[in-house]
Amino acid sequence: MIIINNLVAGYGSKKVLNQIDWSLDQGMIHGLVGLNGSGKTTLLKTMYGLLTPMSGTMKLDDKPFNKKFISLLETEPYFYHGINGKEYLSLFKSYGDFQFNSDEWASLFQLPLMELIDNYSTGMRKKLALLGIIKSNKPFLLLDEPFNGLDLEASRVLTAVLKRMKNDGKTILITSHMLETLTNLCDRIHYLKNGIIQKTYFPEDLSLINKEIFHELDQHIENKIDGLLES
Amino acid sequence: MQPVNFLLVRKAQLFREIKALGFLYSAIVAGATFLLLAFFLKSQVSIQNAGISGVVLTFVIAMIHFSRKDHRFIELVTEWPFLIYFIEYCTLATPFVLLSCIALGNPFFMLILFPVAGISFLKVASRPVVNFNTSSKLISETNFEWKAGMRKTGGLLGILWLAAMALTVVPFASIIALWFMLLVISSFYDEGEPREMVESYQLDAVKFLKVKILSQLKAFFIPALPVLLLFLYFFPERWWVMILFMVFSALNIGVFVLSKYAVWRSAEINRSGNIVNAMCLLGLFLPFFLPLPIAVIIKNYRRSLHNLKPLLHDYH
C-alpha cells in the first residue's frame, strides 16, 4: 500500500498541495485528473522527491519513498545533445533481472535508435523517455502525461504495455488531459482539486467523472462563448 | 554605426558576466588579465617571440570564430558580417598589438590583422552534428560527454592529435598541441544532462563524482599517452615535463567536471565556470596559475556534493 499523510508542498511560500491524505492500492493503474493548475505535476514531483514537502509523510510498504523503486516521466522530456537513442538507453540500469532488448522495443515503438536525438520529433522523444522508464523496470511508475505527443499506434502500444506491467505487479500513477485514455486504462481515477484529493472513482463510477468534474467547467465555457459570440 | 552598437552589446555582455562572477572571482579575473598582459609584454623581446604569440593569438581568434553560435544572427541583422567580426576581433587583439609595438619598438605585431581579416571573411555554416558510431572501447558506454563532444569537434581533435604525434620531435610542440586538445575538450562540459541521466548511474553523490572524473580522465589519457610516451622517447631528459603535464591535465579535467556539477541544473547549458576554467588552463603558460585548479577543485567538489545530494540521496 502507498500511503500519503498530511502532505503539504509547493513553491517558496506558495502551497500547491494542501494536506493531502491519500492511499493507493499497489498493482493497479491509478489515474490523476484535475483542471489546469490543480497540482498534478507538483504532486508527482513531490512523490518522486524533486520537491521537498513542507510537511507530511509518503510511504511505500511502510518505508519512506525511495527513488530506487520509483520512476518519473516528466511531461516534457529533455535529452542531451549529440547522442543517439541507443546511447541514451544504454545509460539505464534495469531493476531486478529484467532483460531489456533495446532494438526489439524500439522496433515495437517504431523508433530509430541510431538517429541522433537532436533530430527526433516530440513524439519520438516521448517514446524514448518511455523506453528509458520501461528499461528501468522499477515497481512504482509516475507518468505525467505519457500519451501527450504520441501517435495513435504508439498510444495503443503504450496502453498495452502499461496493462501488462500492471499484471506483472507494478503500480502506475498517470496524469492525462484526455479523460478517455484514463477511463479505458485505469482501475481508479483520483480527482485533485485545490491541492487535495477530492474524490476517488472506482470502475463502476467512471461514467460519472465527466458529469461531476467537467460539467461545471463546460457550463462556464459555454456561457462565456455565448456571451462572446452574441456581442 | 552598427559595428559600434555591436561593441556596446558586447560591453554590456561582459559587464553582466563579471557581475555574475561576484567580487572575488572578478578580482581574480582582473588580476589574471593583468598578469597575462604583463607576461605577454615581457615575452615581446624578439621578432621570433612576437611571431609565436601572434600565431597563438590567431589560433585563439580562429577558434572563437568557428565556435561562436551567433553567425546566423549577425548575418540576419547586417549586410556586412565581415565588418562586425573584424572589429570585434581587432578589439580583442588591440591590447596585445599595442603592448607588442611598445615593447619591440616596431609595428611587426600589426601583421596579425591580415590573418584576422581573413578569418573574419570565413563563412561558418551551421552544420548539423554528424552522427557516427562511437561504440568503441576507447570511450566508455556511459561517457556521453565524449560521445557528443567527438561528434561536434572530433575533426578538430583528430587534427590536433595528429599534429601532437607528428610534432613529438619538436621540443614542447606536442605538449602545446595536447593543451589545445584540452581547451577543446573543456567545451564538452557546458551542457548539463537531464535529471534521468544523472540518476541512471544509481550512485550517491560522492561515488557519482568519482566515477565521472575517472571516466573522463581515461577518455583523455588513452589518446594522450602515446603522445607523451613518444615525447619521453625523444626527450628523456625532460621526463619531468611529461609528469607535470599529466598532473596538470588531470587537475584540469577534474576542474571541468566539478565546475559542471557545481552549477548543474537538469538539461541546462551553463558556461558560468568557463572563465575560471580558462584561467586554470592558462597555468601551463603562466605558472602562477598552476595552484588555481587545486583551489577550484576543493571549492567545486563541495558545491557539487551540495548540488547533487538532494537528487542522489536515495542511492546512498
Model pLDDT for residues A8-17, shown as the tens digit of each residue: 999 988 999 9
Evaluate whether residue B158 is within a structural domain: yes
pLDDT of residue B262: 95
Q: For position B295, what pLDDT does the model report?
A: 93
- A50 — contact with chain B (CB < 8 Å)? yes
C-alpha cell at B272: 558560468
Predicted local distance difference test score (pLDDT) of residue B27: 78
Say whether both B171 and B296 belong to one domain.
Answer: yes
Q: Give B65-79 pLDDT, tens digit per residue.
A: 887 878 888 888 888
The Cα of B92 is separated from the nearest Cα of chain A by a number of Å equal to 30
Q: What is the ipTM of this complex?
A: 0.85
State the average pLDDT for chain B: 88
Residue A117 CB burial class (10 angstroms; 0-12, 13-18, ≥19): buried
* End position of a domain, from candidates B125, B156, B187: B125
**Best of B207, B265, B314 to mutate (most A CBs within 10 Å, chain A):** B314
Nearest to A92 among B200, B310, B313 (CB): B200
* Any domain includes B219: yes
Does residue B21 form part of some domain? yes
Let me know if A104 is exposed, middle or buried by CB neighbors in 10 A (0-12, 13-18, 19+). Answer: exposed
Question: How far apart are the CA of A116 and the nearest CA of chain B, in angstroms?
Answer: 6
Pair B183, B78 in one domain: no
- One domain, residues B159 and B240: yes
Alpha-carbon gap, residue A55 to A174, rounded angstroms: 24
Q: Which domains does chain A have, with CATH numbers?
A: 28-50+65-230 (3.40.50.300)
Closest among B211, B228, B222 to B185, alpha carbons compared: B222
% of chain A with per-residue pLDDT over 90 = 74
Per-residue three-class SS string for chain B: CHHHHHHHHHHHHHHHHHHHHHHHHHHHHHHHHHHHHHHHHHHCCCHHHHHHHHHHHHHHHHHHHHHCCCHHHHHHHCCCHHHHHHHHHHHHHHHHHHHHHHHHCCHHHHHHHHHHHHHHHCCCCCCCCCCCCCCCCCCCCCCHHHHHHHHHHHHHHHHHHHHHHHHHHCCCHHHHHHHHHHHHHHHHHCECCCHHHHHCCCCCHHHHHHHHHHHHHHHHHHHHHHHHHHHHHHCHHHHHHHHHHHHHHHHHHHHHHHHHHHCCCCCCECCCCHHHHHHHHHHHCCHHHCCHHHHHHHHHHHHHHHHHHHHHHHHC
| Position B135 pLDDT exceeds 60 | no
Asked if residue B316 and residue B193 are part of one domain, the reply reads yes
Distance between CA atoms of residues A20 and B199, nearest Å: 27
Please tell me the distance in Å from B192's CA to the nearest CA on chain A. 8
Residue B1's pLDDT is 59
Strands A14-24 and A2-11: antiparallel
**Lowest-pLDDT range of A96-110, A133-147, B126-140:** B126-140
pLDDT of residue A97: 86
Residue finishing a domain among B125, B157, B179: B125
Residue B275 lies in a domain: yes
The whole-number average pLDDT for the span B243-264 is 96
Provide the b/e sequence for B40-56 (b: ≥16 CB within 10 Å): bbebbeeeebbeebbee
Question: Residue A80: its chain B contacts at CB < 8 A?
Answer: 144, 148, 191, 193-194, 197, 267
Mean pLDDT of chain A: 91
Compute φ and ψ for B271, nearest 5 degrees.
-110, 20
pLDDT digit string, tens, across residues A154-176: 999 999 999 999 999 999 999 98
Residues of B in contact with A50 (CB under 8 A): 195, 311
**DSSP, residue by residue, A32-48:** EE--TTSSHHHHHHHHH
Q: Which residues of B touch A91 (CB under 8 A)?
A: 141-142, 144, 197, 200-201
Q: Which pLDDT band holds residue B43 (cuts at 50, 70, 90)?
A: confident
Mean per-residue pLDDT, A204-218:
80
- The rounded Cα B11 to chain-centroid distance in angstroms is 21
Q: Does any CB of chain B come closer than 8 Å to the CB of residue A98?
A: no
Task: Say if residue A217's pLDDT is above 90.
Answer: no
Confidence at residue B267, expressed as pLDDT on a 0 to 100 scale? 86
Interchain contact, B315 vs A90, CB within 8 Å:
no
pLDDT at A146 > cutoff 70: yes
Mean pLDDT of B154-173: 90
Q: With an 8 Å Cβ cutoff, is B126 touching chain A?
A: no
Residue B309 in contact with partner chain A when CB distance is under 8 A: no
Residues 6+ apart with CB under 8 A from B294: B251
pLDDT at B272: 78
Q: Is the pLDDT of residue B270 over 90?
A: no
Angle (CA) A123-A82-B183 rounded to 5° is 155
- Measured between CB atoms, does A66 come within 8 Å of chain B? yes
Quick one: B166 and B115 in the same domain?
Answer: no
Search chain B and give the residue with CA nearest A48.
B311
Domain identity same for B213 and B113: no
Given CB atoms, is B147 within the 8 Å cutoff of chain A? yes
B316 touches chain A (CB under 8 A): no
Domain count, chain B: 2
Chain A residue numbers with beta carbons less than 8 Å from the beta carbon of B129 are 81-82, 116, 118
Residues B164 and B300 in one domain: yes
**Is residue B143, in this structure, part of any structural domain at all?**
yes
- Is A169 strand, coil or helix? coil
Among all chains, which residue has been given the C-alpha cell 558560468? B272
Contact A68/B at CB under 8 A: yes
CB contact under 8 A, B197 and A116: no
- With cut-offs at 50, 70 and 90, classify the pLDDT of residue B127: low
pLDDT band at B298 (very low <50, low <70, confident <90, very high): very high
* B130 within a domain of the structure (yes/no): no
Is B131's Cβ below 8 Å from some Cβ in A? yes
Average pLDDT estimate for A54-79: 92
pLDDT tens, B45-59?
888 888 888 888 898
Mean pLDDT (whole number) for B228-232: 95
Indicate the Cα dihedral angle B41, B43, B45, B49, nearest 10°: -120
Residue of chain B whose Cα is closest to the Cα of A132: B196
Q: In angstroms, how far is the first alpha carbon of chain A from the final one?
A: 54
What is the extent of the structural domain holding B227?
A: 135-316
Q: Which residues of B touch A77 (CB under 8 A)?
A: 194, 196
Question: Would you call B310 and A90 a contact, using CB atoms and an 8 Å cutoff?
Answer: no
For residue B47, what is its C-alpha cell? 621578432
Residue B126, pLDDT > 70, answer no
Same domain, yes or no: B305 and B171: yes
Pair B92, B177 in one domain: no
Top-confidence residue, B35 or A7: A7
Residue pair A195/A38 in contact (Cβ under 8 Å)? The answer is yes
Cβ of B147 within 8 Å of Cβ of A82? The answer is yes
Q: How many CB contacts within 8 angstroms connect chain A with chain B?
A: 70
Task: Name the pLDDT band for B133 (thresholds 50, 70, 90).
Answer: low
**CA dist A231 to A219, A221, A222, A223, B246, Å?**
19, 16, 14, 12, 77
**Does B141 sit within 8 Å of A90, measured CB to CB?**
yes
Chain B neighbours among A 165-224 (CB < 8 Å)? none
In A, which residues are within 8 Å of B152 by CB distance?
82
Is pLDDT of B229 > 90?
yes
Q: Would residue B255 count as lying in a domain?
A: yes
A40 with A23: CB under 8 angstroms?
A: no
Residue of B nearest to A94 (CA): B200
Mean pLDDT confidence for B14-29: 75
| Domain match, B95 and B149 both | no
Residues B93 and B169 in one domain: no
Mean pLDDT of A88-102: 92
Give Cα A41 distance to the centre of its chain.
8
Q: What percentage of chain A reaches a pLDDT higher than 70?
A: 100
Q: Are residues B220 and B254 in the same domain?
A: yes
Give the residue from B73, B103, B125 where a domain finishes: B125
Question: Is position B157 within any domain?
Answer: yes
Residue B110 pLDDT > 80, yes or no? Answer: yes
